């Protein structure tokens, strides 16, 4: 679970920061401070994104810091649960005076750690009752009967590489070109490492990949409003050659090359990753393909089999049918 922490950046709060981290880590809560984030870009956007992704927030309003006050207000507007901290009751704003606040002594951080652990545990135990949209970016939404959504797969812990790592027996990756694998040398090495680790787990573990056929005209034409179709075609051709080379490498150097299967079909309408789709713990991540430039920031939808069995089964049946059909071409 993740908590976004709002507090003054002043060095006098350094020990308090570590006390908060200690309390949170002791019960399995990961804390985020925006000044520890090394990303470039607009800091306000980063703050808003981290708050949205967090399960709840911790707010130290000591000194009535203006930035902390704004972040606290934004969190309340989103309906986030907030653990309030302060060194003095005088720092409590009028509209939060009725909320329970941990008043702490900066010279007695042991009590702060203990009281904060109690408060965080209470929120942690009640997190499953949060609205589904507040669970996006966390693993808790897998217990919901509602399919969760996020504006980008990068806002969640469900990117391709973590999904392969998560799989216990079977990963099925369907995408128009899956070019993110070749986006960098790091991605390529990570993909190969994760795939090999999965195939080593058992003699029945399987990696299946489905991509669009580069010779199919309408598969290419759908991208002409998003990017240069020549570029997309080049990417598709490049990833096709890569999969052939990697499969041959597995065949030469391992005994499980036959369990890495790549097939082409005329057109992949949705990018979908299935993790152990036949298992009760199965998971599906669905990413619509963007066919307009304004939709380049594609949303994603995440569902678990144990709470969305019928929907996941429908998607899995369709994709498995395409993958095993006579028209699917094996590389």
Residue 34 belongs to some domain of the structure: yes
Residue 134 belongs to some domain of the structure: no
CATH number of the domain within which 64 lies: 3.40.50.450
| Cα atoms found within 13 Å of the Cα of residue 61, Cβ hemisphere only | 26
Q: Does 148 share its domain with 224? A: yes
Query: Number of structural domains, the chain?
Result: 2
- End position of a domain, from candidates 104, 129, 154: 129
Q: Does 183 share its domain with 294? A: yes
Q: How many CB atoms lie within 10 A of CB 59?
A: 24
Q: Does 108 share its domain with 165? A: no
Task: Flag residues of the chain having pLDDT under 50.
Answer: 128-137, 139-144, 291-295
What are the strands of the beta sheet with 300-304, ordered from one edge?
148-150, 300-304, 283-288, 270-275, 170-174, 206-212, 260-265, 329-330
262-271 pLDDT, tens digit each? 998 887 878 8
Q: Which two tokens stand for residue 195?
A: 């795939």
Phi, psi of 273 (to 5 degrees): -115, 120
The pTM of this model reads: 0.56
The tokens 């109690």 sit on which residue? Answer: 118
Q: Does 232 share its domain with 272? A: yes
At 308 the pLDDT is 79
Structural domain span for residue 38: 2-129
Q: Does 221 share its domain with 115? A: no
Q: Does 118 share its domain with 146? A: no
Q: Does 264 share its domain with 312? A: yes
Q: Does 90 share its domain with 219? A: no
Spell out the long-range contacts of 248-251 with Cβ–Cβ below 8 A and sequence spacing 24 or more: 250/196, 250/199
Q: Does 214 share its domain with 307? A: yes
Residue 281 belongs to some domain of the structure: yes
């Amino acid at each position: 679970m993740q908590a976004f922490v709002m507090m003054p950046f002043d060095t006098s709060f350094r020990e308090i920061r570590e006390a908060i981290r200690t309390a949170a880590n002791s019960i399995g809560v990961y804390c985020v401070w925006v000044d520890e984030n090394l990303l470039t870009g607009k800091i306000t956007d980063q703050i808003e994104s981290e708050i949205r992704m967090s399960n709840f927030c911790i707010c130290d309003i000591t000194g009535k810091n203006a930035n902390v006050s704004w972040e606290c207000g934004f969190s309340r507007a989103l309906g986030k649960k907030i653990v309030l901290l302060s060194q003095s009751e005088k720092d409590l704003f009028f509209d939060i005076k009725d909320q329970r606040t941990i008043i702490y002594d900066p010279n007695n951080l042991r009590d702060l750690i203990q009281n904060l652990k109690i408060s965080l545990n209470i929120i942690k135990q009640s997190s499953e009752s949060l609205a589904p949209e507040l669970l996006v970016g966390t693993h808790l939404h897998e217990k919901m009967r509602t399919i969760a959504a996020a504006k980008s797969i990068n806002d969640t812990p469900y990117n391709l590489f973590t999904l392969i790592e998560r799989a216990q027996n079977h990963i099925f990756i369907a995408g128009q070109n899956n070019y993110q694998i070749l986006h960098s040398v790091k991605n390529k090495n990570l993909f190969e490492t994760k795939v090999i680790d999965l195939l080593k787990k058992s003699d029945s573990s399987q990696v299946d990949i489905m991509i669009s056929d580069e010779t199919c005209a309408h598969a290419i034409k759908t991208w002409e409003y998003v990017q240069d179709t020549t570029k997309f075609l080049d990417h598709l051709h490049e990833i096709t050659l890569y999969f052939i080379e990697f499969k041959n490498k597995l065949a030469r150097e391992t005994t499980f090359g036959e369990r890495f299967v790549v097939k082409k079909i005329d057109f992949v309408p949705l990018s979908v990753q299935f993790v152990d789709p036949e298992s009760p713990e199965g998971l599906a991540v669905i990413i619509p393909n963007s066919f307009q430039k304004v939709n380049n920031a594609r949303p994603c939808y995440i569902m678990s089999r144990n709470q969305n069995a019928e929907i996941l089964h429908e998607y899995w049946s369709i994709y498995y049918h395409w993958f095993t059909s006579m028209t699917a071409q094996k590389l």
